């Protein structure tokens, strides 16, 4: 088996019902790049102590399954990166659809050597007006600060190791914090992060559609995101009561 050039890392907690819907979009995008370049990639699903058939479903779809029992999203992503064999890393959540040209575009940018990493912006389409307005606020915030969510982020393995990966003492906003450090590294080395604005990944809107808007605002606001990221108690319901 040849050594993969790209490793796609997907954290997954009780995603058995969602993987069949979203993982095929990742596979199709990866295959398009592989066929065009002759390179190879791998998909690692990091099963985060799921109590459903996440691991079985992921394996049946062709992913390599890695296990991480600690319920901390930064730790889960780091575990996937440690198991990765590629020169480049692409992190994406288990409930996110990737455009078919997504991997090809990302790899063209990374292989060029001009960027340490980047992200494809997310397009959320929740049903309720309040939820849509909340998503628009965060979209504007991220554009203003050149930021990106962990729904998808990519970087070189060298950059990831230089930064020491994601923070494992934070339970929320670890993705924003990692991307901020990645952006600083890119600026310092003149290999800036890139936001692929011509494309969009499409996350599920299950939380926005099933939880009341006030509950989403309670967690997704600048105060809690900045002041309480390390509070396991505050974020326990976000981890334990994940909508499925």
Q: Which helix (H) or strand (E) holds 91?
A: strand 88-92
Tell me if 1 is assigned to some domain: no
In this predicted structure, what is the pLDDT of residue 115?
98
pLDDT at residue 241 tops 70: no
pLDDT at residue 175 tops 80: yes
pLDDT band at 242 (very low <50, low <70, confident <90, very high): low
pLDDT at residue 56 tops 90: yes
Tell me if 218 is assigned to some domain: yes
Q: Which helix (H) or strand (E) holds 40?
A: none
**206 with 177: CB under 8 angstroms?**
no
pLDDT band at 217 (very low <50, low <70, confident <90, very high): confident
**22 with 204: CB under 8 angstroms?**
yes
Which residues, in sequence order, are CB contacts of 211 under 8 Å at separation 6+?
243
What would the pLDDT profile of 67-118 be if each residue is shown by its tens digit? Answer: 999 999 999 999 999 999 999 999 999 999 999 999 999 999 999 999 999 9
Tell me if 236 is assigned to some domain: yes
The C-alpha atoms of residue 238 and residue 20 are separated, in whole angstroms, by 23
Tell me if 226 is assigned to some domain: yes
Minimum mean pLDDT among 46-50, 181-185, 198-202, 203-207: which range?
A: 203-207
CATH number of the domain that residue 157 is part of: 3.90.550.10
Domain containing 177 equals 6-240
In 127-178, which ranges are E strands?
A: 152-156
**232 with 171: CB under 8 angstroms?**
yes
When comparing pLDDT for 211 and 79, which is higher?
79
Tell me if 55 is assigned to some domain: yes
Count of domains forming the chain = 1
**Closest C-alpha among 172, 185, 190, 174 to residue 231:** 172
The C-alpha atoms of residue 227 and residue 98 are separated, in whole angstroms, by 32
pLDDT at residue 244 tops 60: no
Q: What is the pTM of this model?
A: 0.94
In this predicted structure, what is the pLDDT of residue 235?
86
In this predicted structure, what is the pLDDT of residue 240?
79
Q: What is the mean pLDDT of the chain?
A: 93
């Amino acid at each position: 088996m040849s050594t993969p050039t790209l490793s796609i890392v997907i954290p997954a907690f009780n995603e058995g019902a969602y993987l069949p819907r979203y993982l095929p979009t990742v596979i199709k995008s990866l295959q398009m790049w592989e066929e065009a370049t002759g390179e190879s990639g791998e998909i690692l699903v990091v099963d985060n102590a799921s109590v459903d058939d996440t691991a079985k479903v992921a394996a049946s779809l062709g992913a390599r399954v890695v296990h991480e029992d600690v319920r901390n999203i930064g730790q889960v992503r780091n575990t996937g990166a440690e198991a990765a064999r590629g020169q480049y890393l692409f992190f994406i959540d288990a409930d996110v659809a990737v455009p078919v040209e997504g991997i090809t575009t990302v790899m063209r940018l990374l292989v060029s050597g001009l960027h340490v990493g980047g992200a494809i912006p997310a397009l959320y389409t929740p049903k309720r007006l309040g939820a849509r307005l909340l998503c628009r606020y965060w979209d504007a915030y991220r554009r203003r600060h050149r930021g990106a969510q962990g729904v998808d982020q990519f970087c070189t393995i060298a950059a990831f190791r230089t930064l020491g990966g994601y923070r494992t003492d934070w339970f929320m906003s670890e993705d924003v914090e990692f991307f901020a450090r990645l952006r600083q590294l890119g600026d310092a080395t003149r290999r800036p992060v890139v936001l692929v604005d011509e494309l969009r990944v499409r996350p599920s809107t299950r939380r926005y559609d099933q939880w009341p808007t006030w509950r989403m605002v309670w967690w997704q606001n600048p105060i809690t995101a900045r002041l309480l990221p390390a509070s396991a108690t505050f974020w326990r319901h976000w981890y334990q009561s994940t909508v499925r």
